Chains A and B, each alone.
Chain A
Amino acid sequence: MTLLGAEHDSHRPRREWSQLRAAGASWPAALSIALLLVTAATLAVEILVPSLPADSAGVIYLVAVLVVSSLYGLWWGLATSIGAALAFNFFFLPPAHTLVITSSSDWAALTVFVVTAAVTSNLASRVRRERDEAARRAAEARLSESFATLIADASDLASVLPTLGSQAARALGASDGAIHRGSPAPPERRQSVLTLDFNGRRLGELRLIESPPGALDTPAAHRIARSLAGLIALGEERERRLQQQVQAEALSRSNELKTALLRAVSHDMRSPLMAITTAAGGLRFAGLDEDDRELLQTITDQSSRMNRMIENLLDLSKLQAGAVAANADWLDPRELVEASLDEVVPHEQEARVKVTLAHDPPLVRGDASQLQRVIVNLVENALKFSSADSPVEVSVERAGGVVEIAITDQGRGIAEVDRERIFEPFYRSSSPGQVPGSGLGLAIAMGLAQANGCTLSVSSPDGGGSRFVLALPVPAGRRRP
């Protein structure tokens, strides 16, 4: 049904589009019709003359002039009126069968006839032009509509281009045609080319096979090219958006999948660890001796170490999968530091950590859990990479448009060569005296800092030690309640 309908539609307008072709009527036909009509008018006047005065019967010639000018335009009309005037003079004005006019009234009659004929033929040809123009515009509109329908219904642009090219070519009087996209190539023999531009962008060209001469230089041809180019541009835009939408959906599905997978893995790996920790904890009532308690402590300590490693791996995979969403809220930077220290500093090391908090620093925005992870990792690093009796300083201070949280240790410091790379996952410093660790803490800290719009930098002062600075931007124009 659909196919049948489409075929019907593509046939119907083709007949009408022939009106778009240049109205170059052949001159022999026009001449023959003009001669035939003038002869017929002469015969009619001949029949009427016995009962009517010749001057009145001569009006019959106007009919011939009217018909010719409405069929073939002003110039053929004027030529016919001159021919009619000559015939009338020759056959009916005395002296008959000569082109001589003796009577002044005959002169007047002939002059009136020629003027009337000229005016008539002008009017008739103008009506004809307007009718033709209207028909052409209507046909153009139908052609554009047909293009638009084709493009709108098509699943992809490439599949409708042959039909579009063929319809446009036939409408312009060519036997067939095609639309070529991509870089221009020299046209083949018997082909002429109409470039398709839209807003200065070349979209391709319409190649016409056996097009009539001059058919491409008409305003109608340019209008068709413009409308075709506009619709192709629209089709391209639609395809581009569709593609973007498909890509975005695929990306979002794959991110959802990754997140779901990470959640599942994290749950599956943590549960056995939780069971190990709990079970080991339960043994504290078992009346163990000193050695047994030491073994139990090893189980507990190593379980929690393993838990941290799983935690780190999961965080890193989340960061690399782009599955970290910062849940931003208002935060007091001092709270971040205090909560981090609560979490990471073991009771026996509390004395090592010196905290300096600015008085009433501005609030910042960020994800509390993620920023806390950043500080925890930095403090953990500082405690690990400096000797157990050296202090670790943690400070919060305002510095221009940011609040800086600085963690300074008095360890060996970080060599110039390492400073660039310590934020890479699994990178371990090249210096001797390795401390156990996975090399993930700083990579995660950097990833989470960036996910929250913060910067994280490191420096090693000449006196030794390292200083890590987390800079949290202060939102502009923050009101203080």
Chain B
Amino acid sequence: MVDDERPIRRALEVTLVKAGYDVTTANDAEQTLTLAALNPPDLVILDLMLPDADGADVCKQLRDWLRAPILLISAVGEEQDKIRALDAGADDYLTKPFGIGELLARVRALLRRSEGATSGEQVLEVGALVIDLPHRVVTAAGAEVHLTPTEFDLLKELALAEGRPLTHQMLLRKVWGPGYAQEMQLLRTHMGRLRDKLEDNGVPRRSIETLTGVGYRLRGSPTA
């Protein structure tokens, strides 16, 4: 757990320990990298604003060898930094000030996902949605949802990252290709139509959460 402000670091540490986690704290980038190398953690909670380095760079360096999920803590108005850190391999973020309940929920979700790695699954289930990857078929509560190939790819990427934020640029690169990273119009329009179709099939529009200025996230099913 990395934060350069001692009162915050200490409060988070006490809370996490009481919640049953084993916590090691660091107050800057150098200490973070050293401690992580000595005793590889299961999860990293990282403040984006560090005194000695850019949070996104630390993410990148950790991601080179560490598979554990990284949860970012950022302030309001740091959208660009968040996007860079997510692109550099961070898994999720929280914006200050956040409730402890929310932090613990994110920590649990990230740890659960990293334990039961979902890669390689052929059929994804998210809430009422069932996405059959090889056959490119989506059903909602048993009824087929007719999607265009682009809408299917969008939903597939969101479902593969279920519960985790995907930046606009990540989605554009994965669905349309590397040359389309700035084509926000494409993404907004297709996302609007995908939500329309999901809504028509009884899946709430807000199942796909809008992360303003950052990207989108498919809300995980409560039971997952």
Contacts and interface: CB of A to CB of B under 8 A. Distances in A.
Interface stretch (B55-63, B122-130, B207-215): B207-215
A272 B97 CA distance: 10
Interface string A338-364: 110010000000000000010110010
B186 interface: yes
A114 interface: no
Interface stretch (B136-144, B159-167, B189-197): B189-197
A335 B188 contact: yes
A329 B192 contact: no
B38 interface: no
Contacts of B195: 334
A417 B76 CA distance: 36
B75 interface: yes
Given A270-B96, A281-B100, A285-B15, A334 B7 contact: no
B37 interface: no
B100 to A, nearest CB: 3
Interface string A62-81: 00000000000000000000
B146 interface: no
Interface string B194-223: 011000000001100111110000000000
Interface in A247-278: 267, 270-275, 277-278
B146 to A, nearest CB: 16
A360 B193 contact: yes
B71 interface: no
Interface in B38-85: 75-77, 79
Interface in A269-321: 270-275, 277-279, 281-282, 284-285, 300, 303-304, 307, 311
Contacts of B212: 339, 368-369, 372
A332 interface: yes
Interface string A425-463: 000000000000000000000000000000000000000
Contacts of B5: 271, 274-275
B18 interface: yes
A236 B67 CA distance: 67
Interface string B5-46: 101100110110011000000000000000000000000000
Contact of B196 (A279, A282, A359, A363): A359
A480 interface: yes
A33 interface: no
B128 to A, nearest CB: 19
Given A279-B11, A360-B196, A285 B19 contact: yes
B116 interface: no
Contacts of B192: 332, 334-335, 360
Given A285-B15, A338-B205, A311 B76 contact: yes
A300 B75 CA distance: 18
B99 interface: yes
Interface string B158-192: 00000000000000000000000001111011111
Find the residue from A275, A277, A342, A369 having the highest chain B CB count within 10 A. Answer: A275
Interface residues of B, number: 39
Contacts of A479: 185
A372 B79 CA distance: 14
A275 B7 CA distance: 6
B123 to A, nearest CB: 28
B18 A275 contact: no
Contacts of A278: 7-8, 11-12, 15, 97, 100
A30 interface: no
B134 interface: no
Given A271-B8, A342-B209, A369-B213, A285 B18 contact: yes
B149 interface: no
B101 interface: yes
A275 B195 CA distance: 38
Contacts of B101: 281, 284
B213 A332 contact: no
A335 B113 CA distance: 28
A481 B185 contact: yes
B206 A267 contact: no
A32 to B, nearest CB: 92
Contacts of B12: 278, 282
Contacts of A332: 188-189, 191-192
A272 B6 CA distance: 11
B15 A369 contact: no
Contact of B75 (A267, A331, A338, A360): A267
B193 A270 contact: no
A107 interface: no
A117 to B, nearest CB: 91
Nearest to B20: A285
B55 to A, nearest CB: 15
Contacts of A480: 189
B213 A368 contact: yes
A279 B99 contact: no
Given A281-B101, A360-B193, 8 more contacts: A270-B76, A270-B96, A273-B97, A274-B96, A329-B184, A332-B189, A357-B205, A481-B190
Interface of A: 267, 270-275, 277-279, 281-282, 284-285, 300, 303-304, 307, 311, 329-332, 334-335, 338-339, 342, 357, 359-360, 363, 368-369, 372, 478-481
Interface of B: 5, 7-8, 11-12, 14-15, 18-19, 75-77, 79, 96-101, 103, 183-186, 188-193, 195-196, 205-206, 209-213
16 contacts: A274-B8, A277-B97, A278-B7, A281-B99, A281-B101, A285-B15, A330-B188, A332-B189, A334-B205, A335-B192, A338-B206, A339-B211, A342-B206, A342-B209, A369-B212, A481-B185
